Amino acid sequence: MLFNQLGLSAELLRAIDEKGYQEATPIQQQAIPLVLEGKDILAGAQTGTGKTAGFAVPILQHLQRTPGNRRIVRTLVLTPTRELAAQVAESFRDYGRYLPFRTAVIFGGVKINAQISKLKQGVDVVVATPGRLLDHLQQKTIDLSNVDVLVLDEADRMLDMGFIRDIRKIFKYLPKERQTLLFSATFSNDIRNLAADMLNDPTEIQVATRNTAAERVTQVVYPVDKRRKRELLSHRIGTENWEQVLVFTRTKHGANRLAEQLTQDGIESMAIHGNKSQAARTRALSDFKAGRVRVLVATDIAARGLDINRLPHVVNYELPNVPEDYVHRIGRTARAGQEGSAVSLVCVDELKMLRDIESVLKCKIEKVILPGYEVDPRIKAEPIQKGRPQRSGGNGNGGRNKSRNAARKKSRNGSPKHHGGGQRKRSASRQRRAS
């Protein structure tokens, strides 16, 4: 179906055409008419399939069709990360370039005064991360009482990052009568529970099987010893002449170290993760998109929300702790109908992670042994330190350690639950600050 068959205004069609789009993706074909009808939506689609346009375009048309007091916040979009917030705000500006609406983006990591000044001038659409939006609400620098469309974008990621309490606090500032759109790459039981609480008789859209990789991504695993991963990566980038490569590590320290090592190898690289300032993150992403940096090394903060046109290569330098994150990582390539390559460098320590990923995908990933990089069978697997809390609550210790730790906590605090709850709160807090 073409965009000009969806009943969109001439101004929107002109902007869409200038973006080079003519045919709507499946999620856009289903979502746009429903949003225009004012229905609540629970929508799921693979990353890179056009979810943002699926809600931004009809919301802009809704604003255009219902003229009222302009320069008051009528649309609120919540996202889990700064990068995704900036990207969504840019999409609203691009699609609405011939419409008179203003968009503001609000997130942490930068001074709040410029955002307050922007809000005072009046805006129609706000795209925000939950933590910084709560700061504005507490300071009374934003009014959400006129919001008639709310979007929860990448809702599953927001739950994973511990934003559910912030989201519930924000809901208290919103009018009860509104349209709510929940977009997510995956549908978990938690997402369905959230939808049941916050959506009104939603229409469900599911355009792809849960946790499936984009069809146009070519996936391959290179088994390699851990100590030779960087050497192999440099070799592949050089011999295959990879010009733009997004590389994922599990930790921030690992991202910094790998970027430095690749630069020493003569491959211009930068790192992006939650400990970087927002200015540094924005600069790194801009340089990467412009081709001034050949390799961008990222933690999973970049697995969602990064929209890089025609990104040809994604490399899993280290497999993710959470199998589903593999899908989001490789979804950075093969976007908008393009083709892409996803390479994973897997050492003996990560074989269990690889099996878990293949279980999620319901398929085996091709393994290729590269000459000169054969795995040393004498190397034994070592446990991998988990960098992110798991929902199961497991900490990787044996039963005796758990019992011993529980006894220690009880003797110190009187209740093992009290200490554990504090750990969970601090962990969620750290993840929110990183966004």
CB 58 within 8 A of CB 29: no
In terms of domains, do 280 and 228 share one?
yes
Would you say residue 429 lies in a domain?
A: no
In terms of domains, do 66 and 185 share one?
yes
CB 432 within 8 A of CB 161: yes
Considering the entire predicted model, what is its pTM? 0.69
CA atoms of 284 and 83, how far apart (whole Å):
12
Residue 358: its pLDDT value, please?
94
In terms of domains, do 43 and 126 share one?
yes
Residue 187: its pLDDT value, please?
75
Would you give the DSSP letter of residue 192? Answer: H
Residue 142, domain CATH: 3.40.50.300
- Domain of residue 81 covers 3-206
- In this structure, the number of other CB atoms found within 10 A of the CB of residue 72 comes to 14
State yes or no: pLDDT of 111 exceeds 70. yes
Query: For 363-404, what is each residue's pLDDT tens digit?
Result: 999 999 999 999 999 999 999 876 543 332 232 333 333 333
- Asked which of 361, 396, 416 is the last residue of a domain, the reply is 361
Residue 384, CA distances (Å) to 29, 229, 327, 387, 399 in order: 43, 16, 20, 9, 18
In terms of domains, do 57 and 193 share one?
yes
What is the mean predicted confidence (pLDDT) over 286-299? 93
What is the mean predicted confidence (pLDDT) over 98-119? 95
In terms of domains, do 85 and 162 share one?
yes
Q: What is the CA radius of gyration of the chain?
A: 23
199, two tokens: 């959506």
**Domains held by the chain: number:** 2
Better-predicted residue by pLDDT, 189 or 137? 137
In terms of domains, do 169 and 34 share one?
yes
- Quick one: pLDDT band at residue 194, thresholds 50, 70, 90? confident
